[in-house]
Amino acid sequence: MAKHLELTPRLGLLASWVRPGAKLADVGTDHAYLPVWLMLHGGVSSAIASDLRPGPLHRARENAEAWGVTKRLDLRLCDGLSGVGPEECDTVVIAGMGGENIAAILAAAPWTADGRHTLLLQPQSRAESLRQFLSDHGYQIVREELVLDRGTLYPAMEVTAGCQTLTVGQLWGGACLTRDPLGDRYLIEKILRLQGAVAGLAHSSRPEDREKADGLRDVLTALLFMREEWRHANGTGN
Ligand SMILES: C[S@@+](CC[C@H](N)C(=O)[O-])C[C@H]1O[C@@H](n2cnc3c(N)ncnc32)[C@H](O)[C@@H]1O
């Protein structure tokens, strides 16, 4: 066991967003690095670490023991927030899962949109589905940032209750990344991936695939425009 528990850049960014004294619930905690680190650094007043599966929760318990925080870390085996009460936390972290899974966890716990909870969300994939869910269900993204971790870019969001309508570009390319230094790379990666998907669909003879390709072309147009905006805002455009 190393002397210092070091967080990866992705978890480090989320940890830096947790307000001092927060009552934390880390959903899908796996190894529990984030709550353990926050407890070691005095960042939280209480912490619940939950996971759907016994294996990850076992890893969480082992880490809590190794770092001497077993008595303070409340470990729970449950699906999403089903085993966590609204009054038990003011900050919910859901990180390292697909955007659709994060959206399903929030949908099953409508109290997360009561305005008394800060949500720190970090989708590994399908971020656009999560942003769409948030804007349709009474949440707003108050901050979004990209983090580069072992060669991969991840979006991270601070979310609270509110009203927000996002454009197609914002749904796919980020709610507020115009000034993010990694924004251009994020957009380029999205554009290339979508161009590949459109090219694949273009070979299909199925009408639904062609319809899907048309939808993705609209997204591509929005992302190309967003990239121009990013370049303009960051002084790299013409
Ligand atoms: C890749 S790990 C992420 C661990 C950590 N949150 C991080 O960001 O590094 C995803 C974890 O989420 C858990 N998980 C997936 N769906 C879940 C759900 N509906 N409720 C609770 N945990 C879930 C998995 O069991 C797994 O341990």
Query: Do both 66 and 156 map to the same domain?
Result: yes
CATH number of the domain bearing residue 27: 3.40.50.150
Q: Nearest C-alpha to atom 20 of ligand 1 is from which residue? A: 80
Q: Distance, CA 31 to ligand 1 centroid (Å)?
A: 9
For 155-182, the three-class secondary structure string (H helix, E strand, C coil) is EEEEEEECCCCCCHHHHHHCCCCCCCCC
Most ligand 1 atoms within 8 A of CB, residue of 97, 152, 157 to mutate? 97
168 occurs within a structural domain: no
Owning domain of residue 140: 9-163
Query: Do both 142 and 189 map to the same domain?
Result: no
pLDDT attached to residue 43: 79
Is there an atom of ligand 1 within 6 Å of 128 CB?
no
In this prediction, residue 112 has a pLDDT band, given cuts at 50, 70 and 90, of very high
Q: Is the pLDDT of residue 220 over 70?
A: yes
Query: Do both 206 and 96 map to the same domain?
Result: no
**Per the structure, how many domains does the chain have?**
2
Q: Distance, CA 48 to ligand 1 centroid (Å)?
A: 14
The amino acid present at 89, given as its one-letter code, is: C
Most ligand 1 atoms within 8 A of CB, residue of 53, 57, 84 to mutate? 53
In this prediction, residue 238 has a pLDDT band, given cuts at 50, 70 and 90, of low
Query: Do both 38 and 126 map to the same domain?
Result: yes
Q: Is the pLDDT of residue 1 over 60?
A: no
1 occurs within a structural domain: no
pLDDT attached to residue 25: 98
In this prediction, residue 237 has a pLDDT band, given cuts at 50, 70 and 90, of low
Q: Give per-residue pLDDT as tens, 163-187.
A: 999 999 999 999 999 999 999 999 9
Query: Do both 152 and 227 map to the same domain?
Result: no
Identify which of 93, 95, 88, 94 has the alpha carbon closest to the alpha carbon of residue 45: 88
pLDDT attached to residue 3: 62
